């Protein structure tokens, strides 16, 4: 009987993981899927003032909505439950995403991307909170790595498809957002509203909120996102500047980052085993710096692909690192709000990326901007080792 009950619990957890991992593909592919279309979009809207910057903002505009609404979503799910927010958010995601295919005005397109961000805010926050509810501490670590891996593979697949169909019409990739509607009936049978959370909250009582550690996790999440989203918002333009026009080849470079990010996510648990969170961030930033430095120095598309692979491994380290750190330190009674804060910081970084980088591009060019970013990443890695207390840990192996 005990063995049978354990087997049932194992099957239930496996089904829950599969369902949550399916939803996880929404969060990163939501923006990356239109990356191969950006240069063609900029040409299509060339008559609009500041068209190139505005087109880049279509990629990251959802992030500002996520930054605003994710903490609100966290409060709602802590108070009223997880699943209604999840399903409503997935419906909204599809409606707002597909609308981009039909909208001719660039400003209306930007507005639709804001609404898309509201859908992502609800689904992303609920996803991370459910992972904290369903799984124990050790299982969360495994799930965080799997989540980042699946997100990366999903984004790679969708970006590859988007790059292929963008060669026919830059609007076609917007139709891919409809897949969120298909997921709802597939995942609903395996997700249940948690009952354990009330017991955890009662047991935790007034467990204090670790403000300094949370602030460190949020700041590093923001910085990581600013650096990472250069791949989607700047790299296609750099490759095109160097004479490559094919949307498929642009998508390949962006998708390769996602492929190797999946590999990095698989390795995260092993890398983290004898290291603290800050040390893992430092390793991730050094890898990303190496990749961006190569992009700056080379004019070869083949070397850009190698660089994208190096960057991807670093990206695969920091995404599960951020999620796992916040879930570990968040009191159960505030898990939704803490997860919402992480979603906000990551996505505010995503939104800020082209705004932060554009003045650097204007000053030193697209290639030079990757060089400046490489130096910044190295500087942050050094700071994590010599001044970890700034980020809420006593030493680089702590956290």
148/249: higher pLDDT? 249
Spatial distance between the Cα atoms of 218 and 232, rounded to a whole number of angstroms = 21
Under the banding of pLDDT at 50, 70 and 90, the label for residue 340 is confident
pLDDT at residue number 115: 94
Q: What tens digit of pLDDT does each residue of 306-337 get?
A: 999 999 999 988 888 888 888 888 887 787 78
Q: Which residues contact 324 (CB under 8 A, 6 or more apart)?
A: 140, 141, 144, 272, 277
Is residue 7 scored above 60 in pLDDT? yes
Under the banding of pLDDT at 50, 70 and 90, the label for residue 369 is very high
Is residue 398 scored above 60 in pLDDT? no
Which of 243-252, 307-316, 324-333, 345-354 is predicted most confidently? Answer: 307-316
pLDDT at residue number 6: 66
| 139-144-146-151 Cα dihedral, nearest 10 degrees | 150
Which of 152, 360, 341, 163 shows the shortest CA–CA distance to 252? 163
pLDDT at residue number 108: 95
Q: Are the C-beta atoms of residues 155 and 59 closer than 8 Å to each other?
A: no
Which of 132, 376, 254 shows the shortest CA–CA distance to 368? 376
Residue 281 tokens read as 């961030």
Under the banding of pLDDT at 50, 70 and 90, the label for residue 375 is very high
Is residue 89 scored above 90 in pLDDT? yes
Entry field: residues in the chain: 399
Is residue 395 scored above 50 in pLDDT? no
Per residue, the 3-state secondary structure of 56-77, as one string, reads HHHHHHHHHHHHHHHHHHHHHH
pLDDT at residue number 213: 87
Which of 159, 178, 133 shows the shortest CA–CA distance to 20? 133
Per residue, the 3-state secondary structure of 251-283, as one string, reads HHHHHHHHHHHHHHHHHHHHHHCCCCHHHHHHH
pLDDT at residue number 374: 97
pLDDT at residue number 240: 87
Weakest mean pLDDT among 109-113, 127-131, 280-284 = 127-131
pLDDT at residue number 52: 83
Q: Quick one: DSSP state of residue 227?
A: H
**Over the chain, what is the mean pLDDT?**
84
Spatial distance between the Cα atoms of 92 and 119, rounded to a whole number of angstroms = 5
CA distances (Å), origin 250, targets 33, 194, 231, 246: 12, 42, 11, 6
Mean pLDDT of 359-383: 95
pLDDT at residue number 392: 65
Gap between the terminal Cα atoms of the chain: 40
Is residue 83 scored above 80 in pLDDT? yes
pLDDT at residue number 93: 95
**Cα-based angle 55, 99, 89 (whole degrees, multiple of 5):** 105
Spatial distance between the Cα atoms of 160 and 36, rounded to a whole number of angstroms = 9
Domain boundaries, the chain: 19-43+50-185+209-391
Q: Which helix (H) or strand (E) holds 352?
A: helix 335-386
25/370: higher pLDDT? 370
Mean pLDDT of 356-381: 94
Residue 50 tokens read as 């500041």
Which of 294, 271, 292 shows the shortest CA–CA distance to 281? 271
Mean pLDDT of 179-201: 79
pLDDT at residue number 29: 64
In CATH, 19-43+50-185+209-391 is 1.20.1250.20: yes
Longest CA–CA span in the chain (Å) reads: 71
Q: How many helices, marked H, and strands, marked E, lie in the chain?
A: 15, 0
204/161: higher pLDDT? 161
Q: Are the C-beta atoms of residues 135 and 145 closer than 8 Å to each other?
A: no
Under the banding of pLDDT at 50, 70 and 90, the label for residue 399 is low
Mean pLDDT of 114-123: 91
Rg (CA), the chain: 20
Weakest mean pLDDT among 198-212, 284-298, 363-377 = 198-212
Is residue 203 scored above 50 in pLDDT? no
Spatial distance between the Cα atoms of 157 and 259, rounded to a whole number of angstroms = 9
Q: Which residues contact 276 (CB under 8 A, 6 or more apart)?
A: 393, 395, 396, 397, 398, 399
């Amino acid at each position: 009987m005990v063995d049978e009950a354990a087997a049932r619990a194992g099957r239930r957890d496996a089904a829950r993981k599969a369902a949550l991992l399916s939803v996880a593909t929404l969060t990163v592919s939501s923006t990356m899927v239109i990356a191969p279309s950006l240069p063609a979009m900029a040409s299509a809207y060339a008559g609009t003032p500041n068209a190139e910057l505005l087109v880049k903002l279509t990629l990251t505009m959802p992030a500002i909505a996520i930054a605003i609404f994710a903490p609100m979503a966290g409060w709602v799910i802590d108070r009223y439950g997880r699943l209604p927010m999840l399903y409503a958010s997935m419906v909204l995601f599809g409606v707002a995403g597909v609308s981009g295919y039909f909208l001719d005005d660039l400003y209306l397109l930007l507005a639709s991307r804001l609404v898309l961000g509201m859908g992502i805010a609800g689904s992303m926050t609920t996803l991370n909170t459910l992972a904290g509810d369903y799984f124990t501490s050790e299982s969360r670590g495994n799930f965080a790595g799997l989540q980042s891996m699946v997100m990366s593979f999903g984004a790679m697949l969708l970006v590859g498809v988007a790059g292929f169909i963008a060669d026919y019409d830059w609007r076609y990739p917007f139709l891919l957002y409809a897949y969120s509607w298909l997921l709802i009936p597939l995942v609903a049978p395996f997700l249940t509203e948690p009952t354990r959370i009330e017991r955890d909250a009662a047991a935790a009582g007034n467990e204090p909120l670790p403000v300094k550690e949370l602030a460190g996790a949020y700041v590093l999440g923001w910085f990581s996102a600013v650096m990472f989203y250069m791949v989607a918002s700047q790299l296609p333009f750099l490759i095109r500047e160097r004479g490559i026009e094919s949307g498929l080849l642009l998508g390949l470079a962006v998708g390769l980052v996602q492929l190797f990010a999946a590999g990095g996510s698989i390795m995260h648990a092993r890398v983290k085993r004898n290291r603290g969170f800050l040390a893992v961030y430092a390793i991730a930033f050094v890898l990303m710096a190496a990749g961006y430095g190569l992009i700056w120095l080379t004019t070869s598309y083949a070397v850009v692909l190698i660089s994208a692979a190096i960057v991807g491994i670093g990206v695969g380290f920091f995404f599960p690192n951020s999620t796992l750190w916040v879930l570990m330190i968040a009191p159960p009674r505030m898990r939704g709000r803490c997860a919402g804060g992480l979603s906000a910081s990551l996505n505010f970084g995503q939104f800020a990326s082209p705004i932060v980088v554009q003045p650097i591009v204007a000053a030193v060019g697209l290639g030079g901007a990757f060089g400046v970013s490489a130096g910044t990443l190295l500087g942050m890695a050094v700071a994590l080792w010599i001044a970890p207390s700034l980020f809420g840990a006593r030493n680089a192996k702590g956290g």
